[in-house]
Amino acid sequence: MLITFEGIDGAGKSTQVTMLKKRLQESGREVLTLREPGGTAVAEQIRELLLESKHEITPVGELLLFAASRAELVQKVIRPALDKGSDVILDRFFDSTTAYQGYGRGLNLELLAEVNRIATFGLCPDITFYLDITPEDSLMRKFSEKSLPLAFDSEELDRMESSGLEFYRRVREGYHLIGSGQPDRIVMIDAMKTPAEIHQLIVRSLENTICDSGKNSS
Ligand code: TYD
């Protein structure tokens, strides 16, 4: 099974990825966790370019760099793991591109869909958990964790995070549109619930998905 997590920065995805991995492993499943961009030697270098570089990158350049990292990861790591029967939990996948480069940066959504199709080789998640948080709450979480004053021009933020509040509002709105367009695949969860509550919701949705796919194959 391919399970993906989505949401704006600071929504608590990585906590949920860790909790879900443990849960699935305890039930005897083989689980691989990954995050985008990155995950192969080349993709990690692309990640550095995208997040750490202080150079300006054009929106199309940014789109193609995320896509290049994804193509590497899908072909070299995700596809082989799924073929071996492992579950793969992925922190961000093509919905991030639609939300950030499409709704956030304003790139053409049809062009994006085509780039996403090429970069994923047509691979689609079995289920996606979208953790919903406002940009204000996400920023507050990030800075309060580090006991720092809240600021969008802080040195603490990476290249994407420095894109500003308006950008993050568009990204969040984009996620809402993506989610409401694909309710069968995307489970929308309020990220302000406690980690334990969110985990319970995720486990319940997964049990339903596994039951449904069992029914379909019988
Ligand atoms: P990361 O440090 O992994 O943050 P997070 O914990 O929020 O996932 O940074 C990844 C950043 O890249 C994040 O700001 C979202 C952005 N991104 C895109 O803009 N497009 C994409 O296709 C992907 C995968 C990520």
Contact between residue 103 and residue 174 where contact means Cβ atoms under 8 Å apart: yes
Ligand 1 lined by 185 (C-beta under 6 Å): no
- Rounded to the nearest angstrom, the distance between the alpha carbon of 24 and the centre of ligand 1 is 25
What is the model's pLDDT at position 158?
82
| Atom of ligand 1 minimally distant from the CA of 104 | 19
| Atom of ligand 1 minimally distant from the CA of 11 | 7
First to last CA, the chain: 17
Nearest CA to ligand 1 atom 22: 97
Mean pLDDT within 118-129: 98
State how far the alpha carbon of 139 is from the alpha carbons of 101, 103, 153, 163, 167, in Å.
20, 19, 12, 12, 13
Ligand 1 lined by 169 (C-beta under 6 Å): no
What is the model's pLDDT at position 91?
98
Neighbours of 68 (CB within 10 A): 17
Taken in order of first residue, the domains within the chain and their CATH numbers are 2-217 (3.40.50.300)
State pTM to two decimals: 0.93
The yes-or-no verdict on residue 92 having pLDDT over 80 is yes
Enter the tokens of residue 138.
Answer: 């996400």
Ligand 1 lined by 36 (C-beta under 6 Å): yes
How far apart CA 137 and CA 199 sit, in angstroms, is 20
Probe target for ligand 1 pocket from 9, 95, 132, 145, with the most ligand atoms within 8 Å of CB: 9
What is the model's pLDDT at position 212?
67
